Structure 1
Amino acid sequence: MAHAAWKWVVVAVAAVGAGLVACSDDDDEGPGPGPGDGWDAGVDKVRPGFGEDPGDIVGTAFTFPPGVELAGPIYGADDETGECGNGVSPLGTGQAVRICVPLRNLSGAPVLVTFPPGFTTVYIGESRYQNGALMDRERVNVPPTRGGPGGIDAGTDGGTDGGIDPDAFVVPLHLYCLNERRAPSESGAPYALGPVSTDEDLQELLRLLSGKLIESQDDINVVQTALYSITEGRGLTKVDRDAIDDLPDR
């Protein structure tokens, strides 16, 4: 597979007021080229679902605690705020894949839901938007759903207003980019739950980050750049490891 000529893009992000390293396309008019479009990405490890490697992400299935389930399709969060319009604070520090996960809790009591490091989400539409991964453990208490199962009729376009339980508790998740040459998520873009990745190089990155804080835009860039070394290359470099080591400790 091709070693990507990295492209760095400064994107205005309202939440942080700073630029970030992000997945990009050649002309900012849509998702970028892929295999067969004249792009040479060099040699890397084959990792299904990462970079431009075809196939499904390899990992263990993610499951919700008993009583908690999806309450409709997963969709891209608001382009400007990264929120889902319900006042729930976003979880995660990634800025390339921002999604809304509607949940229903039928247990009758609050349930703690944990999204583990390496949790992934997969774009399921026809365009070339990126898959995402969490780099930290994120937890949220999901209150009981009033009224139980329900929801409005699903729309025909897979958009945000089709099939969502009106009483759903919608969790905004902010994940990092797994496909450098694809476009960032957009409001309403269709996503699905992916597995918790078992890629050995990604697991190394997660171990190195386990005692670190990601507090600033520079910290986020360090993490995203290291992740690109995995998704577009052979794994973490010495530069990546040194930069991670310099991140603030918890």
Structure 2
Amino acid sequence: MAHAAWKWMVVAVGVGVGVLACSDDDEGGGGGGGDGGPITFDAGVNRVRPGFGEDPGQPVGKTFVFPPGVELAGVPYGASDATKDCGNGVAPIGTGPAVLVCVPLRNTTGGPVQLTFEPGLVVLNTAPSRIQNGMLIDREPITVPPTGMGPGGVDAGSDGGSEEEVFLLPLHMYCLNEARGPSEQGGTFELGPVSSDPDIQELLRLIENKRIENEDDADVVQDALYSITEYNGLTDDDRKAIAALKNR
């Protein structure tokens, strides 16, 4: 899939008092709304899914496992607000426009290792801010180079010895909590499970061979996700919009 990084705005929607919402325009459009009006959250139209929407708990799924020799080298954190990346020239994985996270990786094998973050991977906000959890919907392998110890010194942020090199991978993900804000630069995250939710799995099957080339395409995916996270699941309109996307 083509990489993209689009600027989304944080907008207020009416739920008694205004709340922050993850949206790409000032209409607050989300799955199941349909008329561009204010979004309300009603337990009567929401299937409970832990960690999605405003449902409490941790998302359900299988644990993501790194290949041998590759592991987290620190706490994942929000990418740059200005550049949407991690400052190291590595192209982002994913087409999601709102939850942008840098994942620090360590490769101790001494050689390159291929790594694939699976579609449906959830990344959980751990900062005190009311920020989205994110989901990766793309499957793209990446080669993680070997990491080791680099030269230190004042410029490297050390006391003159050596410091660990890490590989920073940007993940560009979609929103899972419509009433919350997009990621913030430096905000902390943790890797969650690969979702086993059957409606999420249906969405992933439908978009597996589709191209997400621009903001309108990303809106189709995000609206479909909101139909799942905020309501009861994919609608016929979601399926038609996905079917209309270009094939890879």
TM-score normalised to the size of structure 2?
Answer: 0.80
Matched with 2:113 is 111
What residue number does 1:32 align with?
Answer: 20
Query: Alpha-carbon deviations, 1:61-99, whole Å to 9, x = none?
Result: 001100001111100000122100111111100011000
Structure 2 residue aligned with 1:100, among 99, 102, 106?
A: 102
Aligned residues: 212
Runs of 5+ in structure 1 lacking a partner? 1-13, 34-38, 149-164
- Name the counterpart of 1:139: 141
Counterpart residue number, 2:27: none
Match of 2:202 in 1: 204
Percent identity of the aligned residues? 57
Instruction: Give the structure 1 partner of residue 222 of structure 2.
Output: 224
Counterpart of 1:57 in structure 2 is 59
Paired position in structure 1 for 2:244: 246
Q: CA RMSD in A?
A: 2.3
Match of 2:29 in 1: none
Structure 1 stretch displaced more, 79-88 or 176-185: 79-88
Task: Report the counterpart of residue 188 of structure 2 in structure 1.
Answer: 190
Structure with bigger strand share is 2
Q: How does 1:79-90 map to 2 (within 5 A)?
A: 79-90=81-92
**TM-score, with normalisation over the residues of structure 1?**
0.79
CA 1:207 to 1:23, structure 2 compared with 1: closer, same or farther past 3 Å? Answer: farther
Ranges of 4+ aligned residues in structure 1 off by more than 2 Å: 22-27, 30-33
Amino acid at match of 2:231: G
The amino acid across from 1:32 in the alignment is L
Give the match's secondary structure for 1:32: strand
Bigger Rg over Cα: 2
- Runs of 5+ consecutive residues of structure 2 not aligned to the other structure: 22-38, 151-162
SS in 1 for 2:177: coil
**SS at structure 2 position matched to 1:215:** coil
Residue 72 (structure 1) aligned to one of 71, 74, 91: 74
Summarize deviations over 1:198-236 as a string: whole Å, max 9, x none: 000010000000111111111000000000000000000
Distance 1:128 1:15 in 2: 22
